[in-house]
Each structure stands twice: as C-alpha cells, then as structure tokens.
Amino acid sequence: MTDETFPITIYHNPRCGTSRNTLAILRAAGHEPQVVDYLKTGWTRAGLEALLQAMGATPRDVLRERGTPAAELGLLSADVGPAAILEAMVAHPVLVNRPIVVTPRGAKLCRPSETVLDLLDRRPTHYTRDDGEVVPL
C-alpha cells in the first residue's frame, strides 16, 4: 500500500468518467488514495498555488473550459493573467480540470486516465473502467 507518510491524493469529480477511471487505475495498482471531491470542498488560493507549483503548471494549464463558466467570466482571452484565473478558480472550483493526482513521484493532470501510470511506482496489469470494460495495461 501507499507510504503512510505520503498518501496518494486524487482531486476527483465523481461525475467525470476520466476521473472515475483514474481512480480505478490507482486502486487496481493497490493504492487507496485520499479522494478529494474538490467541487464540494472547494479550493483555497494557497492550496491551489501549492498544487500548481508541484505540477509545474500555471492556472491556464488546468483551466477547464467546457461545461464551466470560463467563457462567461472572460477567462478565455489570452490577456487574462494567472492571478485572475486563480481567483476565479477559488470562487468557481469547477474551473479546475480533473483529475489531478499527487504521489511521491509528482503531481499532474491525468487526462487521459492512463497518464496516472507515470506517477506510480507499481502498475496494474489491467483495470476495469466505470462502464465495465476491462482494459489491459
């Protein structure tokens, strides 16, 4: 199982198939991650800044455009700076793309789901998607 001093964390949206599949891969690899439903818990500015720093990412790198108020908030314009995007993400957690996974090997946005394999020290041989399909790895 995961090192108790550094548990794996997934910032998860249970309504997202990619997020559910990423969680399934983690579990198939023998991990029981800390699951953070960020739509319910929200973000703090400091927490989101720390996560972005760990990922080596900018707010724009993880800005979710589809199915969010990003366009209505004027965030899609190239002249909108990172501070404004970050402030909007704290106010509207849905603006952060998902799933984001943090392990001892790093942190990243895991789209597609199999991207999470780069963060694991052991790989599952397969996983079962949320639709029941068994996927060999």
Tens of pLDDT, residues 83-130: 999 999 999 999 999 999 999 999 999 999 999 999 999 889 999 988
Q: Would you state the torsion angle of the CA atoms of residues 113, 117, 122, 124, taken in this order, to the nearest 10 degrees? A: 40
Q: Which two tokens stand for residue 132?
A: 């029941």
| Closest alpha carbon to 18 in 95, 100, 89 | 100
Q: 100 near 106, Cβ under 8 Å?
A: no
Q: What is the dihedral sign for C-alpha 106, 23, 39, 35?
A: negative
User: Cα separation of 95 and 23, whole Å?
Assistant: 20
For residue 3, the model assigns a pLDDT of 46
Domain boundaries, the chain: 9-123
Tens of pLDDT, residue by residue over 7-29, are 899 999 999 999 999 999 999 99
For residue 5, the model assigns a pLDDT of 57
Catalytic residues: 16
* H or E element at residue 12: strand 9-12
Q: Work out whether strand 9-12 and strand 34-37 pair parallel, antiparallel, or are unpaired.
A: parallel
Q: Which CATH superfamily is domain 9-123 in?
A: Glutaredoxin (3.40.30.10)
For residue 2, the model assigns a pLDDT of 41
For residue 1, the model assigns a pLDDT of 40
The pTM for the full model equals 0.92
User: Cα separation of 49 and 117, whole Å?
Assistant: 24
